[in-house]
Structure formats: structure tokens, C-alpha cells
Amino acid sequence: MRAKEFLIEDKMSSINVDTAIQNTPPAWQQWIKTLPQQLAQEFIDERPTPDNEDIQEYTRLKLASPQPREVSVAELLKVKGNQYNISQAPDDVIADINQKWSIKIPSGKKYDLNPARNRQYAQMSGATAAPSVMINGVITFGVGRFTSACLRGDRTMRVWDLRG
């Protein structure tokens, strides 16, 4: 399982930021260049061809810290947007998270093309997970990492904290 722990980081590290953004709008290029490399790679992976909505939404954001920070998983679970993210996990995953954290997140619409990944990631160490991206308190990218941290019962997880 150890080789899988580095799958996300290996995928991200193969992204050449300068090459990846060369055909994107200037506003996107300028903003991406202000981000730490690992965060820039995460945005490029999630939004390889940003549209106008992406540019409007994301380029206004500012990093709260130049490094990822540790945040309380229990506190993240209190945020409605994060509860919504968990509600999209498979029902058995939601049930386990509800039981582990003594909460009541209802089941929601499912979008994940690989629902088994939550259980797979939960078998990995949270210490090796890349930071998730949190925007105004909501995990936006790296939701699988967040869900897995909840399944494992991690007290904290690392996030890039963006606000705007």
C-alpha cells in the first residue's frame, strides 16, 4: 500500500507549472505564478483549462499562510460545505463517519466515479497525504483526502488555506 501513498504527490510533481499555464488566459497565469509550486500544481490538476468562471472565482483568493497549515478535522466537520462534501461519499462511508464523529450527515447525491477510493485512501497514513485545498473554510480540492481523514479519525489534516 505504501506505493499508493505517494500517488497524488507523484502525479502533482509531474506537472510543469510554466508549461501547463502557457496557453491559459493572462489573469490565470499571473495568479498561478503567485502560488507555492505544490498549490499551483493542485490548481492545474483540478482546472487544466480554466474558464471565465474559474478565473473570476479563484484569482480573487489569497493564501492565509505561505505554507499548508494543520486544521482540526472536528472543526471542519462543523462546516456545512464540508458536511455536503461528506454527504456525496458512499452511504457506508457516511455511516462510519457519522458513528466515529457522533454526527448526523445525511446521504446526498453521488458523483464520484471511483467510490472505493475513500476506503483505499483511509488505509494510507494521513501524514503522507498532500494538503487539501480549503477555500473560506470548505475543502474544495482534496475532498477524498478529507473524507479519508474522517474515516481514520485523524485529529488534524494539512490544508492550503485560501480566502477571498
Strands 156-163 and 69-72: what pairing?
antiparallel
pTM summary value: 0.89
The pLDDT value recorded for residue 10 is 62
Predicted pLDDT of residue 159: 98
Q: Give per-residue pLDDT as tens, 24-69.
A: 999 999 999 999 999 999 999 999 999 999 999 999 999 999 999 9
Domain limits, the chain: 1-59, 61-164
Phi, psi of 60 (to 5 degrees): -85, -10
**Low-confidence residues of the chain, pLDDT below 70?**
1-10
C-alpha dist (Å) from residue 100 to 25, 43, 115, 127, 162 = 45, 31, 19, 20, 28
